[in-house]
Amino acid sequence: MALLEIAGMSLGFGGIEVLRDLDFTVEEGSITSLIGPNGAGKTSVFNCLTGFYRPRSGRITLAGGRIDRLAPHRVTRLGLARTFQNLRLFRELTAAENVMAGRHCRTGAGALDAVLGTRRHRREEAAIAQAAQHWLDFVGIPDAAERVAGSLPYGHQRRVEWARALATEPRLLLLDEPAAGLNTSEKEELIALMRRIRDELGITILLIEHDMGLVMQVSEHIGVLDHGRKIAEGTPDRVQNDPLVIEAYLGRDEDDASEAA
C-alpha cells in the first residue's frame, strides 16, 4: 500500500522551474531513496512534502489524506518527520531538550498548567523527559542528554537530529543526506539504525543520499531526479543500469569539469 503519493507536483520560484510534473510513490514499510545530481531538486521535494514550500500544482497524500497546502507543524502532527541536509539543531540547548522538541506536538500542557504546576503538566513533563532519554538511547548516545547539542561531535549531532525526529512518532521519516560527513564505520551504524527504525518501529523511510553504495545497499525502491524531472525509478539494480541515469551523472561530471577548467 502506498503511504505517500506525489502526483503531478510542480514547483517554481519566479521564472525558475525547480520541479516539473513529478509523480512518485513511497510504499508503506519500505526504505525508498531519492537520488540525483546536486541541484536536481531533491531537497525541494522534502520542502514541499513538509509544507515549507508550496507547489505550484499537483497533490500530495499521506495515507490517503492530502497534506499539500498544510503548514509544516500540521504535516508533522500527521506523521511526517524530517532531518535537514545541513544540521538544524537547537545548538545552544542540551541534546535532551532538542529531543523533547519532538514531543511538543504529541503533548498539550499550556503555559497556565506550567505556572500552576498542574498534574497534567507534571505528568507530561515526566513522560517527555523519559521519551527524550529513550530516543537518545535508541540512536546510541545515551550519555549525551545533558550535553549542549552544539558541543557534541558531528556524528552525535546527527543522531540527536534523528532522535528528535523519531520523538514526533512519525509514520514516514524523511532523511536528507544523513551520511554526509560521516566516516565508513559511522555509515555502517547509520545503515543498521535505518533498518532498526523500519523493522522495529515500523516507520517508513524516504532517503536522499549521495553515497551510492549506501543507497544501493539499503533501498528497496529508488527514484532518480535530474533538473527537477524524474528520469528513472525502480529497484537498485534497474536504476543502476539505466542509461538515462548514467548519463545524468556523467553529464553532470562533464559540466563540472568544464566549469572547473
Q: Report the interface residues with ligand ADP, using CB under 6 A.
A: 13, 16, 18, 36, 38-44
Contact 253, 226 (CB under 8 A): no
Cβ closest to Mg ion, residue 85 vs residue 217: 85
Residues facing 140 on adjacent strands:
none
Distance, CA of 73 to CA of 86 (rounded, Å) = 20
Q: Which of residues 41-80 bind another protein (CB under 8 A)?
A: 50, 52, 71-73, 76-77
CB 58 within 8 A of CB 10: yes
Residue of 17, 25, 84, 236 interacting with another protein (CB under 8 A): 84
Q: Does 43 bind Mg ion (CB under 5 A)?
A: yes
Size of interface with Mg ion, in residues (CB under 5 A): 2
CB-CB contact of 81 with 197 (8 Å): no
Selected from 13, 28, 69, 117, the binder of another protein by CB under 8 A is 117
Residue 85 has which C-alpha cell?
541536509
> Looking at beta carbons only, is 80 or 224 nearer to another protein?
80
Q: Which stretch binds Mg ion (CB under 5 A): 38-46, 96-104, 156-164, 247-255?
A: 38-46
The C-alpha atoms of residue 90 and residue 99 are separated, in whole angstroms, by 10
25 vs 85, beta carbon nearer Mg ion: 85
Q: CB neighbours (10 Å) of residue 55? A: 23
Strand order in the sheet with 2-13: 16-27, 2-13, 57-62, 65-66
**Residues between 85 and 104 with contacts to Mg ion, criterion CB under 5 A:** 85
Q: Select 44 or 94, whichever has its Cβ closest to Mg ion.
A: 44
Q: Looking at residue 220, what DSSP letter applies?
A: S
168 touches another protein (CB under 8 A): yes
State which H helix or E strand residue 12 sits in: strand 2-13
Min dist. Cβ of residue 64 to Mg ion (A): 28
- Let me know: does 210 contact 177? Beta carbons within 8 Å: yes
Binding site for another protein (CB under 8 A): 50, 52, 71-73, 76-77, 81-82, 84, 88-93, 96-97, 100-111, 113-115, 117, 121-122, 124-126, 128-129, 132-133, 145-146, 164, 168
Binding site for Mg ion (CB under 5 A): 43, 85
